[in-house]
Chain A
Amino acid sequence: MRLLIIEDEPGIAGFLKDGLEEEYFAVDVAYDGKSGLDHAMTNEYDLIIIDWMIPVLSGIEVCRQIRKSGSVVPIMFLTAKDTLEDVVFGLEAGANDYIKKPFAFEELLARIRVQLRSKNQGDDSLRAGNLNINPGTHQVFYDSLEITLTPKEFALLEYLVRNKDKVCTRSRIIEHVWDIHFDSDTSVIDVYITFLRRKLEHAGCGNLIQTIRGVGYIIRES
Chain B
Amino acid sequence: MSLRNRIAFYYTITTAFLIALVFAILYFMVESIVYKQFDEEINNEVTELFTDAHATSHDFTSFSRFKTFIDDNIEVKIDPKEAVKVDTEFIQLVNTEGEVINKSINLARNVLIFKPGETTMIYFNSTINNSAIRQGQLPLFNRDGIIKGYLIIAVPMKKAIIVLNDLENVFRFSFPAIILTLFVLTRLIAGKSIRPIEKVIATAEKMTQPNIHQRIGLPFHHDELYRLSATINALLDRMEDAFQREKQFTADASHELKTPLSVVKGTLEVLVRKPREREQYENKIQFCLMELNRMAQLIDQLLMLARYESNKMNPHIQEVSLPIALEAATARLHPIAFEKKIEFKITGTEKASVTADLAMLDIILENILSNAIKYSHEASVVTITIERQERNILCSIADQGIGIPEEKLHAVFERFYRVDESRSSGTGGFGLGLSIVKRLADIQQIKVGVKSNKTIGTTFTLTFPSTAS
A contacts, CB < 8 Å to B: 8-12, 14-16, 18-19, 22, 31-32, 53, 55-56, 80-81, 101-106
Instruction: For A82, give the chain B residue with the smallest CB separation.
Output: B254
> Which residues from A are CB-within-8-Å of B51?
none
- CB distance B273 to A22 under 8 Å? yes
Q: What's the dominant secondary structure at chain B's contact region?
A: helix
Contact of A12 among B254, B262, B287, B421 (CB under 8 A): B262
Whether B269 is near chain A, meaning CB under 8 Å from some CB there, is yes
- CB distance A55 to B421 under 8 Å? yes
A105-B270, A106-B269 known; A15-B263 Cβ under 8 A: yes
Cα A83 to Cα B254 with chains together (Å):
12
Separation in Å of the A84 CB from the closest CB of chain B? 15
Whether B424 is near chain A, meaning CB under 8 Å from some CB there, is yes
Q: Which residues of B, 218-269, contact A by the 8 Å Cβ criterion?
A: 251, 254-255, 258-263, 265-267, 269
Whether B291 is near chain A, meaning CB under 8 Å from some CB there, is yes
Instruction: For B257, give the chain A residue with the smallest CB separation.
Output: A80
Instruction: For B426, give the chain A residue with the smallest CB separation.
Output: A10
- CB distance A11 to B423 under 8 Å? no
Whether B77 is near chain A, meaning CB under 8 Å from some CB there, is no
B contacts, CB < 8 Å to A: 251, 254-255, 258-263, 265-267, 269-270, 273-274, 287, 291, 421-424
Separation in Å of the A69 CB from the closest CB of chain B? 25
A9-B259, A101-B258, A101-B259 known; A16-B266 Cβ under 8 A: yes
Cα A14 to Cα B270 with chains together (Å):
11
> Which residues from B are CB-within-8-Å of A12?
259, 262-263, 266
- CB distance B270 to A18 under 8 Å? yes
Q: What's the dominant secondary structure at chain A's contact region?
A: loop
> Which residues from A are CB-within-8-Å of B267?
11, 14-15
Contact of B258 among A32, A55, A80 (CB under 8 A): A80
> Can you name 26 A-B residue pairings with CB atoms under 8 Å?
A8-B423, A9-B259, A9-B262, A9-B263, A9-B423, A11-B259, A11-B262, A11-B263, A11-B287, A12-B262, A12-B266, A16-B266, A19-B273, A31-B422, A31-B424, A55-B422, A80-B262, A101-B259, A102-B258, A102-B262, A102-B266, A104-B265, A104-B269, A105-B269, A105-B273, A106-B269
> Which residues from A are CB-within-8-Å of B254?
80
Cα A19 to Cα B284 with chains together (Å):
12
Q: A22-B270, A31-B424, A103-B266 are in contact. List 12 more A-B contacts (CB 8 A).
A: A9-B424, A11-B262, A11-B291, A14-B267, A19-B266, A19-B270, A22-B273, A22-B274, A81-B251, A101-B258, A104-B269, A105-B273
Separation in Å of the B315 CB from the closest CB of chain A? 35
Instruction: For B266, give the chain A residue with the smallest CB separation.
Output: A15
> Which residues from B are CB-within-8-Å of A19?
266, 269-270, 273
> Which residues from B are CB-within-8-Å of A15?
263, 266-267, 269-270
> Which residues from A are CB-within-8-Å of B287?
11
Cα A153 to Cα B259 with chains together (Å):
35
- CB distance A103 to B422 under 8 Å? no
Instruction: For A79, give the chain B residue with the smallest CB separation.
Output: B255
> Which residues from B are CB-within-8-Å of A101?
258-259, 261-262
Cα A82 to Cα B291 with chains together (Å):
22
Q: Which 9 A-B pairs have the closest CB atoms?
A: A11-B263, A19-B270, A105-B269, A102-B262, A15-B267, A15-B266, A55-B421, A80-B258, A101-B262
